[in-house]
Chain A
């Protein structure tokens, strides 16, 4: 019974949160609701007994949404409403309905046709972390490594983009040095 109560409670909360994310005009509401929704999703992992994935969900998405907050802080006055450009409303409604129907179909078709087989069922005598590791380093080793390479590429790209003048520190420079630097602002540093 507790599982059912918890499931319906968190299902309602998650959907309500993501509804706010989509409909609100306030950047701060949207971000906060996004963070809350992501954290509420972890409840489903805990209900299913996947403690490790639940905890990882909390850690990963708090960090990810925190980075979004940083962007929100830079781009918007987050205490005021954002004026959105509303295009054709019929296209928006039509596309979102289509997307929702498609997602439901993608998820439910294998279930309806009984086409889901657990190839690597969870062994009873090992813990949660071990069973994740077991699947990750046998069946899904190549996707895992590809994801690692992709993250490495993203990291190098990020460093190259943001790494201009990284050896300088504005706090440690004198006033004249900063003036000099402003004059040569247009020179390319990295090349």
Chain B
């Protein structure tokens, strides 16, 4: 393990942390603007031109707000819960290839922190650990709304992990590897090689499950503002609440990277155009998260369970079986 590798890794980690923390902040601005335009409003307009500095103002507000720990809570768990959400979101990013490898000053850079050969399982597993944040925060808060939200987090986690795994299994069987770089190389030949054409069902299922994993509308029931206040976030204030926010938005960005890498060809042949293509796909999937929030109502918890266990999971299992038969004969 030479020092060049060490320095390179540390630089990559710092860059990913900075870029995606900032993107999480800017993401909130985009979300408010997109929602506003879809609802015929203006959205944030006062801070800076077109309100672009709004996320800076929000950041200052969050950083300077008093950090309140209520007396009834289980303090150590209450304090660590937001950190889990934010930290696991960034830990998952360690196995995502963000761009094709490029040369800078004659030094070849691979924009992936660690190319472990089980990337996709690692990413899904660590993202799943992220749901411990809402769960622990909700259970430690000593608040009934938070407890309801924690119970929902556990239920959503246990159900949708199954769908995500089974949906990802079919393309994994086709590629025969768990590394996202292998996935990308498998689809590098162009649009006709994309896995989505041979696995459309798995693509749709994975996409639906991604909404549940990130806790976005229509599966926003973990922190449903209009029925359980802010769920696990009810007792939080200041930067601790902000960490939940950063974790949620970072997760949205990372899952938006994973979906194109798995199904839509990723960065293709590794050219500059391919890299731009990947960023465009990520932007589309991120935009779709916001679009759905404007266009769809939330589902009830029992409908969510019904959808998962009676519709999505059987379809996913059948998809895996059919894929197996097709590959065998």
Contact = CB atoms under 8 A, between A and B. Distances in A.
B118 A78 contact: no
A70 B77 contact: no
B157 A51 contact: no
A51 B123 CA distance: 12
Contact of B125 (A32, A59, A128): A59
A66 B134 CA distance: 12
B117 A171 contact: no
Contact of B121 (A26, A32, A56, A169): A56
A129 B178 contact: yes
B125 A55 contact: yes
* Most interface-central of A2, A26, A56, A58 (chain B CB within 10 A): A58
A55 B122 contact: yes
B-side binding surface: helix, strand, loop or mixed?
helix
B139 interface: yes
A69 B125 CA distance: 18
Contacts, number: 90
A67 interface: yes
Contacts of A79: 72-74, 139-140, 142
Contacts of A17: none
Interface string A32-74: 1001000100000000000110111011001100110110110
A32 B157 contact: no
Contacts of A35: 132
* Most interface-central of B76, B118, B154 (chain A CB within 10 A): B118
A51 B115 CA distance: 11
A127 interface: yes
A10 interface: no
A28 interface: yes
B154 A28 contact: no
Interface string A1-24: 010000000000000000000000
Interface in A82-108: none
Given A59-B128, A78-B139, 6 more contacts: A28-B139, A59-B124, A66-B131, A66-B135, A66-B154, A78-B74
Interface of B: 1, 72-74, 76-77, 116-118, 121-122, 124-126, 128-129, 131-132, 135-136, 139-140, 142, 147, 150-151, 154-155, 157-158, 161, 165, 177-178, 300, 302
Interface of A: 2, 26, 28-29, 32, 35, 39, 51-52, 54-56, 58-59, 62-63, 66-67, 69-70, 72-73, 78-79, 127-129, 169, 171
9 contacts: A28-B74, A29-B76, A29-B77, A59-B124, A59-B161, A63-B128, A63-B158, A69-B154, A79-B140
